[in-house]
Chain A
């Protein structure tokens, strides 16, 4: 299992101008994020809304808005290109679409409304010198052949999502980043979409699935190896093989998320996540943590395949 994309010490922050009496602020969207995407493996990144998940995909594809600042490294193997410092021309001509495919949230809106899905797919294949024809891509993404002749507004949400997935695969990228591809879909469609992504991973691609949906992650983890990373308030608080983390969560936040699932007790984690512009000092989860309070700031500590940012660092 070889690494396709290695993120270490990634920090992202946004400068917000003050306006209408509010002072300028800094919003910390990612703190010391470390992730590794492996070929043939799916990494599921879960966390509450606004914890910085989507910013990761933007940072990795050079699509952050102008007021963003980054540091750290995001190495794209095998040549070791640093995605955070690569010039725009390299990202545009070599990386986006060709080496990293991005599946957006509500992919229907990512399609140009004035041309048919098929025309757009064929164009993507042509421009990216993709090895597969639009029809093959559509079939792989579970997109019915008849949908190729339709315009984006004629597609249902699930079909549009699959069209987005097919387009992301046009350039045959090694890495696929899917930013909440299941948002707004119902359960059977969520299952289909995640199954497709899991299949991609089995076919050798490195897949990052950003989602709220722990149930969907648990489902695909049951049928094959899946990595899980839990993000909270701009940081990764726990990561490791999904089945192990589900069986024995180390971080109280992970345990809380699992406990909030309908079939696990339906007990939500009390409280609200902190504002990213005003993170508390020390452990960001402390105000919501049920364990005896600790004063210092745990860093992510690795134990074999798993890692956790909590005290005690190695749970019994």
Chain B
């Protein structure tokens, strides 16, 4: 940070000693020097995400090749110039296939995140707003959904609508909204009793206005955060379904499909089949997390007491 002596008042007073930072006294508080926070994280996250999405869209398209093209003369090739990520057990180029898979996985995951956020937010907000016995019934229903293992519930849904992308999306979206619902409900419950809501009501605001202008905007940050956390979870869930043969059809590349197939190849020493798709998955998660962290800082200025911890 630049020295701002010009704006600092009263040069005439006292003391020419150097300034000593007092900040070490409370560990964990905001540092005077900008660390890996704020805008840096946003920019890194945005750049990463844009690169990955562009890659997922453009590489299969520009490559002009079929990511599913099988080449039995080049089975399990390590990374080379011809195949930057190597090839898999039936000779498909992993570079093309990984990015195509990333596109499919991102579509599935983003759709799931949207579905679960919308369902979860509405459900949680309704439950928190109604309170009392409706709240109790609604939240016990959530417990009921959670009591059944997600995977099992997903399998049932996929079994009903068999083997399409939509079935997978539905299976994940319809099982993952419970987290969002719980987060939103507890947030609404705590916001409802805050003085600013009382102030809005005593200032003459209608019920709808209190909901729309005061409660929902405050609920958005945690809802967005928990929906972001669903992204990687959705990809893993899809992987698990694919591994069981219930997910996306095997010819359709997804990160989950590639990883599920690659598991066997790793035992034969073909590390690249797992490493590169995993790296793409990790990069996506980190990029999204960076944006989410910036969003959280921006929408939730931490209070003094939180800074002290």
Contact = CB atoms under 8 A, between A and B. Distances in A.
B309 to A, nearest CB: 12
A71 interface: yes
Given A25-B7, A26-B7, A281-B10, A71 B307 contact: no
A132 B12 CA distance: 48
Interface stretch (A11-19, A111-119, A134-142, A166-174): A11-19
Interface string B9-32: 111111101111111111011111
B160 interface: no
Given A59-B22, A66-B29, A24 B2 contact: yes
Given A15-B1, A17-B1, A71 B9 contact: no
A11 B23 CA distance: 15
A28 B10 contact: yes
A84 B31 CA distance: 18
B81 interface: no
B20 A28 contact: no
- For the complex, would chain A's binding face be called helix, strand, loop or mixed by DSSP majority? loop
Q: How large is the interface on A (under 10, 10 to 19, 20 to 34, 35 or more residues)?
A: 35 or more
Nearest to B18: A71
Given A17-B38, A69-B32, A26 B4 contact: yes
Interface in A26-66: 26, 28, 31-32, 59, 62-66
B26 A64 contact: yes
B26 A31 contact: no
A66 B32 contact: yes
B304 interface: yes
Given A65-B30, A66-B29, A235-B10, 6 more contacts: A13-B19, A26-B8, A68-B21, A71-B20, A84-B22, A299-B14
30 contacts: A11-B13, A11-B19, A15-B1, A15-B32, A17-B30, A24-B2, A24-B4, A25-B4, A28-B8, A28-B10, A31-B13, A32-B13, A59-B22, A62-B22, A64-B23, A64-B25, A64-B26, A66-B23, A66-B24, A66-B28, A66-B29, A66-B32, A69-B20, A69-B21, A71-B15, A235-B10, A279-B9, A284-B9, A284-B10, A297-B12
